[in-house]
Structure 1
């Protein structure tokens, strides 16, 4: 269990604490320091009480160049052999995955997938050197770290090497696109949610209120004002390497996204379509860079579940009314997902 102090009374005698676990919803309690006892308040998700949730296991993975990559794996119940693996890549990329209850891990594990989240170089919370090791490594060693995570899972007997998918949003979507171009022999399918495919466009669209962040972006990526920088940004853009993408892909994009132009997702989807690569593009007219509407999120996960089942062989539920009330629009390639045809 992890214990987090949520609040303290004015006299310091009582505090609200949050007890976190990876295989149960968090519990909120009041701790009375004078009486040295706790009072149960309520669970954060009482609808999950008693459900067969799976523990998240912390692991350390060695990268090919000697870095230790903190990672987390969740295994499906009743696993008697190697499982299909879904690698879930966090956004940011200057953020991190953490141990604890993950609805995404639990959902995928309930469908029979092993789930792996790797804190690749550039992730925060592991020291400045670890974060800075990602400078100018978008599409390079940051991708290697994800591939090394897959190799670890195969070596440990966790993953079926013939059934591996990669799932990510924002930077995680970029990583999915780059993995599709760099490592088509390692992964079987990809899910990209609002991932940038053109780094020159990505930098050009940085909004004014991110101005204080702009200098860091130039240092960690490259300066488009220089010829060398433009060349680097172009080389690390997935759209330039779309000819190497041969595996099935699901792309989701909010049409109100101010960070990643919807054109970036559409350009990749159309390029794959022209080459007869299995691709499905779904868009949400009322969503931005992240999907926040509950019905839209349910619809996307329902489609993603069908996509993964089709290409990795996990279980899935019938769509039923999961798309009702959402703004999900299939722009390209619905025939690859039979329930959407």
Structure 2
């Protein structure tokens, strides 16, 4: 794989002694300088370091860093602050490094393509000194060909007292279900642990002895989800549900102190997923541990892994022995944590008081731990926290060291009421030079998915638009995840009507509140957000002055006919229920396909697509280009044959955003010209 040493000269060893309750931070306040235009390259270059993980002995950190335009693995020695790059991949990206022991690291390989990450199924291991490199599982083709029989292996965790093996789950025997294996990270040998299971396993849940005793299951052919328990040597169905998401019970973790208690996420008797205890022997849902009437504490898993919603249980033990449940973290208007343990709450409060206004994540399992601190204006930085000595040490490692948080614009959680009475949440980011009472240009920025969620966090695109003088509105319209089952159900077969209404109602709210100038409103989105861009311009041609459609769906029938997930997997059955079907829902597809109504669009649009997109096929791009040509509507066009669902290569990323920059300036003049820092 190749290794390369480099001295991280920019890493500072700043040690902060913590007071019993908090560290008193003193900062000077400077008069606000005029807003400067931040170069595209500064905003959109790849992050310097991500994914830092402490070794078990807390002497080294595994990290991801860019090389060859890809994310590669490095190890940082905490004693001398020297980083050694261990891998040199050019076609794939390293993801999720995990320490097997103090010497060895296992990691997966993926293909990060702009706004989409393709799982390749590859699994590797290497010692921190670069020796004993081993391909444990061969990755599937990372090129342009498509394979739909996915064989993947995922690490579950270390095994008590075992320095060479880890527990993994893999669908080697049956593509539709995962088994658990012990895998030797030196030889690659797998030993089957679960010789039989309930089938269609999405996720195994292990007890404190690392024994599999519960599963979360999904049969996409039957649109059936269920929760299974191992009782008396047999797997029994404890709960089941369909896409309507009623009476959901999802197993999360066994109580390490009581093997008969399973923590589950459930919406029985409520709308949002909350944390309950489940009595394994009695087979009954027990007491409510914690719930939020507005937000889910876990993902429903409607179409796979969590996409911005849900949360995590916080334990105070170790990976091999979790200890006890002390709290829960989840996504609300801002990230929230709720603690059941006073000592854990005090520890979190101590760190939060020392790093105010930040989302501070760290493990409570060790006396020395890594703190990842980030916010809406700060992409993230890493600290070492010694709980016993009450010391917080700045490692000097920044995710994006060229980004100055003081120059970034804060995200403001907002909400409005849609025309049919549904509450819609979102975020409003105002430019730094916004003055109350002086409305500014606004860009409506719907997220992709659509079953995903925007959260309070640093977002380079939002900062780019705000830096150029625009307010940015990010609506979590109906169908956005994390707001309960009803918020999801309301989106079924409503891609192009009530979901769009939610967005437009948000724009009207921003205008009424005095934030936005009605005469200077635009819209930009990617994937489903690209679809929403076009559909919003179709429905309200009087409102939007320009739009940017990035890899967006343009025709519902074209999408159904060309999306690999609908063509070659069982998702097609679920898609017909939640998206619609061109045969059964002909009128709906006609109304909700913006490419068929381009004649109604009254403003220019910038379209951008990639030729290797496996999510939104390029046929959508051809369709919309042809429609704009036929209608003789003004548009700009960008197509890159070897890019996929969003652009990955720096040259293409920079070109896209530079063209975006020029396009929006040409079509909606912002505030007074800003000085460049170039």
TM-score by length of 1: 0.86
Matched length: 316
Task: Tell me which residue corresponds to 1:184.
Answer: 541
- Per mean C-alpha deviation after superposition, the further-off stretch among 285-294 and 148-157 is 285-294
Q: Report SS of the residue matched to 2:402.
A: helix
Please say if 1:276 is aligned against 2:632. yes
Encode CA deviations 1:131-154: one digit per residue, 9 max, x unaligned. 111111110100001101100110
User: Using CA pairs below 8 Å that are at least 6 residues apart, which structure has the higher relative contact order?
Assistant: 1
Indicate conservation of the 8 Å contact 2:613/2:643, yes or no.
yes
Match of 2:528 in 1: 171
Aligned partner of 1:304 in structure 2 is 660
Q: Distance in 1 between matches of 2:610 and 2:390?
A: 50
Identify the range of structure 1 (35-44 vs 178-187) with the bigger mean alpha-carbon deviation.
35-44
Shift of 1:190: 0.7
Residue aligning to 1:211: 569
> What residue number does 1:241 align with?
597
Shift of 1:4: 4.5
Matches within 5 A, 1:317-332: none
2:411 is matched with which residue?
Answer: 56
Shift in Å, 1:208 = 5.2
Tell me if the contact between 1:221 and 1:233 (Cα under 8 Å) persists in the aligned partners.
no
Tell me the residue number matched to 2:123.
Answer: none
- Farther-moved stretch of structure 1 (192-201 vs 154-163): 192-201
SS in 1 for 2:384: strand
Q: Give 1 or 2: higher helix fraction.
A: 1
- Where in structure 2 are the equivalents of 1:53-132 lying within 5 Å? 53-80=408-435, 81-132=438-489
What's the offset of the Cα at 1:246? Answer: 2.0
SS at 2:638's partner residue?
A: strand
Alignment partner of 2:469: what SS? coil
1:292-318 CA distance string (max 9 Å, x none): 112211110000111111111127899
Quote the residue 2:385 is aligned against.
31
Contact 1:31 1:37 in 2 (8 A): yes
- Partner of 2:486, secondary structure, is helix
Q: After the TM superposition, which of the residue ranges 126-135 and 148-157 deviates more from structure 2?
A: 126-135
1:83–1:190 Cα change, 3 Å? same
Does the C-alpha gap of structure 1 residues 317 and 251 become closer, same or farther in structure 2, counting only changes over 3 Å? farther
Deviates more, 1:19-28 or 1:139-148: 19-28
Q: Is 1:21 matched up with 2:375? A: yes
Contact 2:555 2:623 in 1 (8 A): no
Higher strand share: 2
Deviations 1:88-125 (A, max 9, x none): 11100000111121111111111111111010100011
Corresponding residue of 1:289: 645
For residue 186 of structure 1, report the CA deviation from its aligned partner.
1.3
Deviates more, 1:166-175 or 1:244-253: 244-253
Does the CA contact (< 8 Å) of 2:377 and 2:406 recur in 1? no
Alpha-carbon shift at residue 19 of structure 1 (Å):
1.5
Kindly state the Cα deviation for residue 277 of structure 1 after the two structures are TM-superposed: 1.7
Structure 1, 211-220 or 86-95: larger mean CA deviation: 211-220
* 1:87 Cα deviation from its structure 2 partner: 1.0
C-alpha separation in 2, matches of 1:212 and 1:12:
43
Q: SS state of the match for residue 274, structure 1? A: helix
Q: CA deviation at 1:50?
A: 5.8
- Superposition deviation, residue 282 in structure 1: 1.1
- 8 Å CA contact 2:550, 2:607 repeated in 1: yes
In 2, Cα distance between equivalents of 1:234 and 1:195: 17
Q: Distance in 2 between matches of 1:78 and 1:259?
A: 38
| Contact 2:371/2:383 (<8 A) preserved | yes
Give 3-state SS (helix, strand or coil) of 1:104's partner.
helix
Q: Contact conserved, 2:559 with 2:620, CA < 8 A, in 1? A: no
- Partner of 1:172, secondary structure, is helix
Report the Cα distance in structure 2 between the residues aligned to 1:208 and 1:122, rounded to whole angstroms.
19
Q: Distance in 1 between matches of 2:536 and 2:431?
A: 25
Please say if residues 122 and 142 of structure 1, whose CA atoms lie closer than 8 Å, have aligned partners that are also in contact.
yes
Q: Aligned partners of 2:619, 2:441: CA distance in 1, in Å?
A: 32
Query: Is contact 1:269-1:280 (8 Å) kept?
Result: no
Matches within 5 A, 1:127-206: 127-206=484-563
3-state SS in 1 of match to 2:508: helix
TM-score by length of 2: 0.44
Aligned position for 1:263 = 619
